[in-house]
């Protein structure tokens, strides 16, 4: 087994690579759909395929060896980002779907692998996913807003990163769990199957499938209250802020109002919010070894307060300066990252080792579920907020 520091570095790289495309796509939402469509449309396409993978994975993922999963991740991610860089909306959506499938499969895969490498791998993975947010949003801000590289070329550059998944093959090989071990169901022997009539064999197979389904649902039910609900609500609140509210947290870009020097267009404000959010996520996701939070529902409440504050700002224009809002978005990222890392650290500590691999993969559905709900809510919320702003003399949300 490799040393802890080496495992940390490898899983940091895996977490960063797996999440960076997801972040880049969300950072580019304003460029993909323009000012006339809700940015939550991009979030919906970016999260729905990943959610479907995570929702169904507990019932089949044990059948796919880890080595095969890595090859699938590389292909899906590279092809997906090449399509996204094409800039035509239909082609972009197809690319986003492929990248989302890769993201969902990758999160399940590497979270399950942390069962074998334990705390060093989980800390590395969590920090790496936070690093992905910072790297993805900041580099997109640098390329498009500061260096002014064409958006299509900027997006295409990210298609190279998924090749880093190939580092997996330098780790000690870990085989997928087999069917009988995973479900605790004893399968019939080869001799018994050979001498069974076809209808008896089919009946036996259906019984096994039903038993596997029931056992899996029972395992999932035990994870809902302590881990899945708090993580889902945190992600619902924060992504509703990010994609439904923050596109309307705008300010006049003139000499009379203070703002960063690289705010040339209103889309630059949106991209900057994304970068600050991801900075907060990176810091808190990297804190798992130093700060532990057991009361996960507290993070849900605090994030709900942030949502209320940002909606109030969007509707009533309380602060006429962008700086307090930037600080609030950074704090929002801190809460989101803390919820993620502490949820999975608590699973490592509290769940029986025989159920830990399953639990780590299954609970990963929670963030996607919360994000998916936020996407649907944001599609309705952003136009409502923007329409109110235009009607009250703040037309910035409708301007490029």
CATH of the domain at 58: 1.20.1250.20
Residue 13, domain member (yes or no): yes
Residue 191, domain member (yes or no): no
Q: Report the pLDDT value the prediction gives residue 288, as an integer from 0 to 100.
A: 74
Residue 214, domain member (yes or no): no
| Residues 29, 158: Cα–Cα separation, whole Å | 15
Q: Report the pLDDT value the prediction gives residue 384, as an integer from 0 to 100.
A: 96
**Burial (0-12, 13-18, 19+ Cβ within 10 Å), 346:** middle
Q: Which of 206, 211, 210, 280 is nearest to 242 (CA)?
A: 280
Task: List CB contacts of 348: < 8 A, sequence separation 6 or more.
Answer: 114, 118, 119, 122, 356, 360
Q: Which of 3, 9, 114 is nearest to 344 (CA)?
A: 114
Q: Report the pLDDT value the prediction gives residue 198, as an integer from 0 to 100.
A: 58
Task: List CB contacts of 286: < 8 A, sequence separation 6 or more.
Answer: 123, 126, 127, 130, 131
Residue 19, domain member (yes or no): yes
| Residues 342, 348: Cα–Cα separation, whole Å | 10
pTM: 0.76
Stated as kind and residue range, the H or E segment containing 123 is: helix 89-141
Residue 103, domain member (yes or no): yes
Q: Report the pLDDT value the prediction gives residue 186, as an integer from 0 to 100.
A: 43
* Residue 97 CA: distances (Å) to CA of 182, 334, 389: 29, 28, 32
| Residues 154, 144: Cα–Cα separation, whole Å | 7
| Residues 176, 67: Cα–Cα separation, whole Å | 9
Residue 233, domain member (yes or no): yes
Q: Six-digit token pair at 90?
A: 């239909």
**Mean pLDDT in order along the chain per 10 residues (400 residues):** 77 93 87 81 90 86 89 95 88 94 93 83 88 87 88 92 91 49 42 52 68 82 95 96 94 75 79 89 83 93 98 96 94 95 92 88 88 93 95 89
Residue 150, domain member (yes or no): yes
Cα-flanking dihedrals φ and ψ of residue 291, to 5°? -125, 125
Q: Six-digit token pair at 395?
A: 């037309």
Token pair 């649902």 in the structure block, residue: 217
Q: How many domains are there within the chain?
A: 1
Which DSSP symbol is given to 254? S
Q: Report the pLDDT value the prediction gives residue 263, as an integer from 0 to 100.
A: 78
Q: Which of 339, 325, 327 is nearest to 371 (CA)?
A: 339
Residue 110, domain member (yes or no): yes
Q: Six-digit token pair at 182?
A: 């995973």
Domain extent, residue 132, equals: 4-176+225-398
Task: List CB contacts of 132: < 8 A, sequence separation 6 or more.
Answer: 15, 16, 17, 18, 19, 20, 22, 23
């Amino acid at each position: 087994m490799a040393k802890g520091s080496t495992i940390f570095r490898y899983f940091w790289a895996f977490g960063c690579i797996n999440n960076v495309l997801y972040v880049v796509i969300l950072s580019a939402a304003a460029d993909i759909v323009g000012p006339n469509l809700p940015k939550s449309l991009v979030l919906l396409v970016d999260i729905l395929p990943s959610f479907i993978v995570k929702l169904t994975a507990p019932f089949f993922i044990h059948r796919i060896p880890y080595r095969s999963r890595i090859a699938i991740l590389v292909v899906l991610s590279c092809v997906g980002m090449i399509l996204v860089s094409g800039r035509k909306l239909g082609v972009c959506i197809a690319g986003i779907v492929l990248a989302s499938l890769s993201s969902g499969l990758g999160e399940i895969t590497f979270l399950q692998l942390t069962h074998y490498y334990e705390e060093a791998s989980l800390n590395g993975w969590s920090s790496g996913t936070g690093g992905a947010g910072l790297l993805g949003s900041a580099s997109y801000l640098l390329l498009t807003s500061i260096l002014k590289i064409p958006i299509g070329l900027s997006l295409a550059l990210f298609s190279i990163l998924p090749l880093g998944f190939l580092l997996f093959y330098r780790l000690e090989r870990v085989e997928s769990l087999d069917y009988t071990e995973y479900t605790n169901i004893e399968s019939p022997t080869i001799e018994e199957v050979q001498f069974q009539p076809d209808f008896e064999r089919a009946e036996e197979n259906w019984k096994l499938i039903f038993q596997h389904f029931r056992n899996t649902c029972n395992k999932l039910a035990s994870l809902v209250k302590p881990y899945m609900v708090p993580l889902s609500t945190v992600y619902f609140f924060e992504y509703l802020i990010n994609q439904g509210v923050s596109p309307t947290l705008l300010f006049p870009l003139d000499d009379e109002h203070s703002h960063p020097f690289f705010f040339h267009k209103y889309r630059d404000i949106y991209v900057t919010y994304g970068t600050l959010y991801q900075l907060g996520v990176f810091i808190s996701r990297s804190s798992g070894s130093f700060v532990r939070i057991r009361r996960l529902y507290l993070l849900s409440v605090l994030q709900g307060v942030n949502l209320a504050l940002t909606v109030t700002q969007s509707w009533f224009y309380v602060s006429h300066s962008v700086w307090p809002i930037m600080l609030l978005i950074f704090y929002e990222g801190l809460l989101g990252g803390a919820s993620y890392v502490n949820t999975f650290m608590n699973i490592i500590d509290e769940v029986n080792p025989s159920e830990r691999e399953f639990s780590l993969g299954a609970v990963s559905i929670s963030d996607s579920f919360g994000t998916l709900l936020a996407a649907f809510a944001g599609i309705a919320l952003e136009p409502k907020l923007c329409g109110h702003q235009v009607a009250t003399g703040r037309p910035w949300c409708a301007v490029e």
